[in-house]
Amino acid sequence: MVDAVPKDPPERVKYAVLGCGSTGYNVVQELVGESRSILVVDREESRVSELRDQNFNAVAGDITSESLLATLPVFEIAFVLTSDHATNLAAIKAIRKRLSGVHIAARAADPISAGVLGSSGADYVLYPPNVVARAAIHQINKLHANRISRRLHTLLSGWEGTLAIITHKNPDPDAISSAMALATIAASANPKKLTCRIFYDGVIGHQENRTMVNLLEIRMEKMDPAIIQDCTYLALVDSPGPGQNNTLSPRTRVHIIIDHHGNGSGPDPGTAFVDIRPGLGATASILTQYMQELDIPVDRPLATGLLYGIRSDTRDFRRNVTPQDLNNAAFLLPLTDSELLEQITSPSLSQETLDVFGIAIRSRRIHSGYLISNVGYVRNRDSLPQAADLLITLEGVNTALVYGITDDAIVLSARNRDVRLHIGNVLYEAFGDIGDAGGHPNMAAATIPLSYFRRVKNKDELLSLIMEPLLNKFTSIVGLENEGKDEL
Ligand SMILES: [Mn+2]
């Protein structure tokens, strides 16, 4: 016969496991690794005595009884884990009555009782078949990631010649760091017979990106069709296929595609290696996973680049971020050079960007929360989003639209914090038929090619001529046409 109360009860314990069948026992085993401050309560005296033999603090009793609860030490977290719904429900109610601050995890017998337990005071309800399914998916995905990584490694180790790693147009930190990582994996898989070169088209715009390329000493070459033709293998990173956000012809045969953008048409079945994961926040996240799985050392510059890639593609973990992105970022964090990262993320402003800020601020017009600003002729379009980022922070402004003109296009950049408005859709509706336009609910851009008008010398004048009807379209879509449009 065991005593109903342990001899020297501690005042408080961290965990109480109420109901110690197979689920309860497994929870106890998991908890032991973290804390010895565990109290177990079960109806079966024989089980309690076994637990005591294993040195557990165990009590026999009815977990639904308020008078039993009164004799127990105070606990912070309770697991209510019997296989009987009525018992669990009564236990939750009894705990809630006595100890309102306790966090309760309860086991549900079926999906319907899960709802009842939740509304009766359980903070977390687990339904074992669900947990098993989730664990199975997690494990098999891990295994799959490992297989994919090995397949890439094996493929690269059998190649001979030059691998051209091609980023998307106007490469961003995600694309640049992914290219760097793929080159590192290739060098580790096949140091003797395979050479890597990294190519890009367009410009490496934002100061942050240029600073990144300089500080991390990444060698990137401008795309040249003749050189590409001479390369033995082609890999696309952060771009879903040839001709999609890169200047390759859509018919080009590529050998590797690694990306997190959806691909409408699906990649060419002849592509030797494809890993496209539209759910993920960044391509750098995929490459980080490969390096972990393959156990390839990640040096400081690469870790810094990849972390910056994940951070900037997820807007500092605020957009499209998944637990996997966070895991990969956590893996990189201790390997990064925080000073270097600081230097990259706070680069000096270029003179032109500062000038554009000045013009954008001076020429701003505001009405009903909309700010519109014409910055005129700019050499580099990258100062526009930065100006929009700045202006959207202005008090009373919910939507900011900054526009200007480059040598060959009218460029617009918009930021929005009005939840009723999807600024990407607005720009698409307004300018999608005459240019490239679209984006997210909170940030969007448009580029309208000048075509024949590119020869016009006075770009500022051209802009004011073309812009009026275009702006009218914008203001009418957002519903500003009748009120105060003239002020804009
Ligand atoms: Mn990306």
Cα 323 to averaged position of ligand 1 atoms, centre (Å): 17
pTM listed for this prediction:
0.63
Cα 314 to averaged position of ligand 1 atoms, centre (Å): 9
Residue range(s) defining the domain that contains residue 121: 12-126
Whole-angstrom distance, CA of residue 336 vs CA of residue 417: 33
pLDDT, tens digit (0-9, with 9 covering 90-100), for 354-408? 999 999 999 999 999 999 999 999 987 888 999 999 999 999 999 999 999 999 8
Domain ends where: 126, 160, 182? 126
Cα 425 to averaged position of ligand 1 atoms, centre (Å): 21
- φ/ψ of residue 245, rounded to 5: 65, 30
Cα 172 to averaged position of ligand 1 atoms, centre (Å): 7
- The verdict on 387 and 261 lying in the same domain is no
Cα 259 to averaged position of ligand 1 atoms, centre (Å): 7
Q: Average pLDDT in the 88-105 region? A: 92
Whole-angstrom distance, CA of residue 293 vs CA of residue 100: 45
Cα 261 to averaged position of ligand 1 atoms, centre (Å): 7
**452 located within any domain:** yes
CATH number for the domain harbouring residue 91:
3.40.50.720
3-state secondary structure 97-159: HHCCCCEEEEECCCHHHHHHHHHCCCCEEECHHHHHHHHHHHHHHHHHHHHHHHHHHHHHHCC
Cα 284 to averaged position of ligand 1 atoms, centre (Å): 7
- The verdict on 405 and 459 lying in the same domain is yes
- The verdict on 148 and 112 lying in the same domain is no
- The verdict on 166 and 59 lying in the same domain is no
pLDDT, tens digit (0-9, with 9 covering 90-100), for 171-227? 999 999 999 999 999 999 999 999 999 999 988 887 788 889 988 889 999 999 999
pLDDT of residue 1: 46
Cα 376 to averaged position of ligand 1 atoms, centre (Å): 30
Cα 345 to averaged position of ligand 1 atoms, centre (Å): 17
Report whether pLDDT(6) > 80. no
Whole-angstrom distance, CA of residue 421 vs CA of residue 441: 7
- The verdict on 73 and 151 lying in the same domain is no
Cα 158 to averaged position of ligand 1 atoms, centre (Å): 28
Cα 426 to averaged position of ligand 1 atoms, centre (Å): 23
pLDDT band at 2 (very low <50, low <70, confident <90, very high): very low
Cα 400 to averaged position of ligand 1 atoms, centre (Å): 24
Whole-angstrom distance, CA of residue 130 vs CA of residue 400: 45
**50 located within any domain:** yes
- Please check whether residue 408 is in contact with residue 450, taking contact to mean a CB–CB distance below 8 angstroms: yes
Cα 325 to averaged position of ligand 1 atoms, centre (Å): 12
Domain ends where: 345, 360, 380? 345
Cα 84 to averaged position of ligand 1 atoms, centre (Å): 49
Strands 273-276 and 161-166: unpaired
**483 located within any domain:** no
Cα 313 to averaged position of ligand 1 atoms, centre (Å): 6
* pLDDT above 70 coverage of the chain, percent: 95
- The verdict on 432 and 474 lying in the same domain is yes
pLDDT, tens digit (0-9, with 9 covering 90-100), for 15-33? 999 999 989 999 999 998 8
Q: Average pLDDT in the 461-480 region? A: 90
Report whether pLDDT(54) > 60. yes
**252 located within any domain:** yes
Domain ends where: 126, 161, 190? 126
Neighbours of ion ligand 1 (CB under 5 A): 174, 238, 283, 313
pLDDT of residue 207: 79
β-bridge partners, 40:
17, 58
- The verdict on 281 and 394 lying in the same domain is no
**63 located within any domain:** yes
Cα 238 to averaged position of ligand 1 atoms, centre (Å): 5
- The verdict on 272 and 358 lying in the same domain is no
- The verdict on 357 and 383 lying in the same domain is yes
Cα 260 to averaged position of ligand 1 atoms, centre (Å): 6
Cα 244 to averaged position of ligand 1 atoms, centre (Å): 13
* pLDDT above 90 coverage of the chain, percent: 69
Q: Average pLDDT in the 78-107 region? A: 93
CATH number for the domain harbouring residue 335:
3.90.1640.10
Whole-angstrom distance, CA of residue 168 vs CA of residue 203: 11
**1 located within any domain:** no
**6 located within any domain:** no
Please tell me the total count of domains within the chain: 3
- The verdict on 338 and 396 lying in the same domain is no
pLDDT of residue 119: 92
Cα 312 to averaged position of ligand 1 atoms, centre (Å): 9
Cα 224 to averaged position of ligand 1 atoms, centre (Å): 23
Report whether pLDDT(298) > 60. yes
Cα 264 to averaged position of ligand 1 atoms, centre (Å): 17
Cα 353 to averaged position of ligand 1 atoms, centre (Å): 24
Cα 417 to averaged position of ligand 1 atoms, centre (Å): 23
- Please check whether residue 165 is in contact with residue 185, taking contact to mean a CB–CB distance below 8 angstroms: no
- The verdict on 377 and 434 lying in the same domain is yes
pLDDT of residue 263: 63
Cα 440 to averaged position of ligand 1 atoms, centre (Å): 14
pLDDT, tens digit (0-9, with 9 covering 90-100), for 139-157? 898 899 999 999 999 999 9
Closest C-alpha among 148, 232, 227, 236 to residue 193: 232
pLDDT, tens digit (0-9, with 9 covering 90-100), for 259-275? 998 766 677 888 999 99
pLDDT, tens digit (0-9, with 9 covering 90-100), for 98-127? 888 899 999 998 888 999 999 999 999 999
Cα 322 to averaged position of ligand 1 atoms, centre (Å): 14
Whole-angstrom distance, CA of residue 486 vs CA of residue 267: 49
**435 located within any domain:** yes
The mean predicted confidence, pLDDT, of the chain is: 91
Whole-angstrom distance, CA of residue 80 vs CA of residue 63: 9
- The verdict on 197 and 301 lying in the same domain is yes
Cα 316 to averaged position of ligand 1 atoms, centre (Å): 13
